[in-house]
Chains A and B, each alone.
Chain A
Amino acid sequence: MADPVLDLRHVTMQFGGVVAVDNLSMHIDNQEIVALIGPNGAGKTTAFNCITGVYTPTNGQVYYEGNLIVSNQPQGKMRQMYAGTHKEYSKEIVVNTPDRITKMGLARTFQNIRLFKTQTVFENVLIATHLHKTSNLFTATLRLNHKEETQMRAHALSMLEAVGLLDVKDELATSLPYGMQRRLEIARALATKPRLLLLDEPAAGMNPQETEALGKFIVDIQKRFELTIFLIEHHMDLVMDISDRIYVIDFGRQIATGVPEEIQGNPDVITAYLGVYEE
């Protein structure tokens, strides 16, 4: 069988004395939609940040398509302070910056929207085509790359079309309503041509209709671009609707995993999360 697209092994992230992610192991297979859920502060965003190179985890490894892209062991003072459940240290140290990880084919969106605020919708997406350029500073300045430039623009437009934002392409990105800004972030991530897309609470701040539409949209782009999708989400209807599998974490630790039906009936999950959240 082929390597999983994403494979986390004993990933632990400790900030000072706080273990935000503790011994997290999970895998996502090709073209799956997998959800990561858990109460606020459970460590979901931190897990994303460990995968995408924003943080270097304190211990553990991340494999992407079979390649080790992140690996670390507690170092320096952390050797004494280390409070993770998994006591065995990773052997190798592999650090990649977020831009390199994006170049490998992982793209993400942010929980707190991070659009380029002085720029238009179109420009926001166009920037995301920069990483695949073949031009250098001179050829780009002297416009010897006009063929590539034309392709970049066409690609950005096709991404905007895919998410249905073509009509507003010349608006200032931050002038869009909230829901559209979230979709623009997805378009921007898609423009980097990822194989794995990580979505951090894409439905946050959306009403039920918008959320339902977003669910359809995620399934749609998954099929259309043959993506593997890993998403963090609080809207349970959306999660149960579109996920192939779900991981549940609480206080940084995995408390359950399975298909939506299994998670819905899991008593641990209900006490930790659903029970509190339903009201």
Chain B
Amino acid sequence: MLLSAFCKIAQAKRLSVYVLLISTLFVGVYILENTVGANSMLMMVLKKGAIYALVAVAMNLLNGFTGLFSLGQSGFMLIGANIYAIFTIETGNRAQVYQYYGGGIIQFTLPTLVSIILGGLVAAFFAFLIGLPVLRLKSDYLAIATLGFAEIIRAIFQYDGLGPITNGSNLLRKFVVFETALFPFAVAGACILLIALMIHSTYGRAFKAIRDDEIAAEAMGINLFRHKQMSFVISSFFAGIGGALLAMYQTTVQAKAFTAAMTYEILLIVVIGGMGSISGSILASFLFVAASEWWLRFLDNVTVIGTFKVPLMRSGFRMVVFSVIIMAVVLFYRQGIMGDKELSLHRLGARFTRKKGGADHG
């Protein structure tokens, strides 16, 4: 009795700590945005970081937690981004956007959130179709099939014949975008929370069992196909949502930008953060985006100190340094930043008190 009461209190306390942390985060983002400006480099990095965090966590659900190797992330993001854009361009602007296709054939708009979710659902539907034949085979085939799918879907969305819907290889623009960084933080945050809750539910445990040992998992009564399918469809759903957010962030969408290179970027984030660590993926997303878009920018500029021209520094050098850093991380941190552990208040707290204790003795 007493014990369970204590547990309840502890649980309520932990919950309130989380609520406090999350509200602090949002207030912090809000204040920051109004201090440094919504279009400052810092805010751009934070927005893109939040979106990539969602996409990376979605990929981690499949690759890290279920042990299925998929390379279709860019394809599912493409679907989410394009579906979102197509359905939120204001009717008055359609003639201009779809100028080569007589204004397009879709002449209505859907509410923003509905369009985002629709993007996720269409991505999930494609995952469902791909999974039907492929998830019954050995898992290597999934990587091949999803990679192929991403290439094909990119071609389909650029196909001229579908132009009245997709605008072919032309830009989709003038759709609804977000005004404040709070929006991607809220949507990505809510989605990541859902994924985390699922991973810690009995279904998430089943996914991890499949990852650890398929034969044993099946012997425990876990239907391999159905659970792999669930994980794949859900992962793709959230990749689609991430794609929609990315469209909003970019303000324009072009199918040809969703290349395999984008998938590799996200895979890198997952590996760097740690396969099987949600907080690792989130952390790595922000670090990755900040490093590639901001911190290493200076390497692309020709720099002259006095009369000395710093060698190597010219356009493109940033990517060289970036690749070397990533290689080093992958080589020396095999398990990524977090391994398969999570950042937790509890552990952080424990570490902090230990440090303090150590200082007292020293």
Interface residues in chain A, defined as those with a beta carbon under 8 Å from any beta carbon in chain B: 52, 54, 97-100, 102-103, 107-108, 110, 114-119, 123, 126-133, 135, 137, 140-143, 145, 149, 152, 188-189, 192
Contact = CB atoms under 8 A, between A and B. Distances in A.
A114 B220 contact: no
A130 B222 contact: yes
Contacts of B203: 130, 137, 140-141
B17 interface: no
SS of B interface (majority) = helix
Given A135-B202, A143-B197, A116 B222 contact: no
Contact of A98 (B194, B209, B211, B218): B218
Given A97-B223, A99-B218, A103-B221, A116 B206 contact: no
Contacts of A131: 220-222
Contact of A123 (B197, B205, B211, B340): B205
Nearest to B216: A114
A98 B215 CA distance: 9
A128 B223 contact: no
Counting from the closest, the 3 A-B pairs by CB-CB distance are A131-B221, A102-B221, A140-B201
28 contacts: A97-B224, A99-B218, A102-B218, A102-B219, A103-B221, A108-B219, A110-B215, A110-B216, A110-B219, A115-B213, A127-B205, A127-B206, A128-B221, A130-B205, A130-B206, A130-B220, A131-B220, A137-B230, A137-B234, A140-B201, A140-B202, A140-B203, A141-B194, A141-B197, A141-B198, A141-B201, A189-B219, A192-B221
Given A114-B213, A123-B205, A102 B220 contact: yes
B216 A119 contact: no
Residue among B217, B219, B224, B230 facing the most chain A CB atoms (10 A cut-off): B219
Given A119-B208, A131-B222, A152 B215 contact: no
B197 A142 contact: yes
A130 B213 CA distance: 15
B342 to A, nearest CB: 13
B285 to A, nearest CB: 22
Contacts of A141: 194, 197-198, 201, 203
B212 interface: yes
A115 B230 CA distance: 23
A58 to B, nearest CB: 21
B223 to A, nearest CB: 5
A188 B203 CA distance: 17
B203 to A, nearest CB: 5
A128 B155 CA distance: 44
Contacts of A192: 220-221
A118 B220 contact: no
Contacts of A126: 205
Contacts of A143: 197, 201
Interface in B71-104: none
Interface residues of B, number: 27
A135 B230 CA distance: 14
Given A130-B206, A149-B202, A118 B212 contact: yes
Given A116-B208, A133-B202, A127 B197 contact: no
Contacts of B213: 114-117
Contacts of B212: 116-119
Contact of B217 (A52, A127, A135): A127
Nearest to B225: A97
B198 A99 contact: no
Contacts of B215: 54, 98, 110, 114
B90 to A, nearest CB: 34
Contact of B209 (A97, A127, A132, A140): A127
Contact of B219 (A107, A117, A123, A135): A107
Contacts of B230: 137
B218 to A, nearest CB: 4
Contacts of A140: 198, 201-203
B208 A128 contact: no
Contacts of A107: 219
A192 B213 CA distance: 17
Interface in B220-246: 220-224, 230, 234
Contacts of B276: 118
A46 to B, nearest CB: 15
A33 to B, nearest CB: 21
Contacts of B201: 135, 140-141, 143, 145, 149
B279 to A, nearest CB: 17
Contact of A152 (B202, B208, B217, B224): B202
A149 B224 CA distance: 21
Residue among A52, A107, A131 facing the most chain B CB atoms (10 A cut-off): A131
A118 B217 CA distance: 13
B220 A128 contact: yes
Given A102-B218, A115-B213, 12 more contacts: A97-B224, A102-B220, A116-B212, A116-B213, A127-B205, A131-B221, A133-B202, A135-B201, A141-B194, A143-B201, A145-B201, A189-B219
A114 B217 CA distance: 9
Contacts of B219: 52, 98-99, 102, 107-108, 110, 114, 189
Contacts of A123: 205
A250 to B, nearest CB: 27
Given A114-B213, A137-B203, A97 B218 contact: yes
